[in-house]
A = this chain, B = another copy of it.
């Protein structure tokens, strides 16, 4: 049987909150939200987050320890991510630029290392804030 990936109950709850949010959410703020709906402990949130990351449904903004829903419709596995982050209003946007992703996916340094994943975070001021 073909496995349509269905999210479990907790995974769904966590995902919906992240998806609806206007910006990146922190784990404990998610916890706060889902506590109304039955989840009680941090670990339940972190487990859902781990799974969602693995599925590529969400990404982690490392510089903020926060999570956003993936906006690239077909992104099933997180292996090449780029974000722009406004240092004033904290707005985060996932960059979807094939030139950039091709450039980075093909990038080779002089160490003979073969990359299979990258994460890029740009910082600056967004149109509103500059």
Measured CB to CB, the residues of A under 8 A from B are 62-63, 84, 86, 93, 95, 97, 100, 103-104, 107, 109-127, 130
B123 near A111 with CB under 8 A, answer no
User: Given A63-B62, A107-B100, A113-B84, are A120 and B123 neighbors across the interface (CB < 8 Å)?
Assistant: no
Across-interface contacts of A93 in B (CB, < 8 A): 109, 111, 113
A121 contacts which of B114, B118, B127 (Cβ < 8 Å)?
B118
A115 to chain B, nearest CB (A): 4
A117 contacts which of B114, B116, B124, B127 (Cβ < 8 Å)?
B124
Across-interface contacts of A116 in B (CB, < 8 A): 123-125
Can you spell out 23 A-B residue pairs with CB atoms less than 8 angstroms apart?
A62-B62, A63-B119, A84-B109, A84-B113, A93-B111, A95-B109, A97-B109, A103-B103, A107-B122, A111-B126, A111-B127, A112-B127, A113-B122, A113-B124, A113-B126, A115-B123, A115-B124, A117-B122, A117-B123, A118-B121, A118-B122, A120-B120, A120-B121
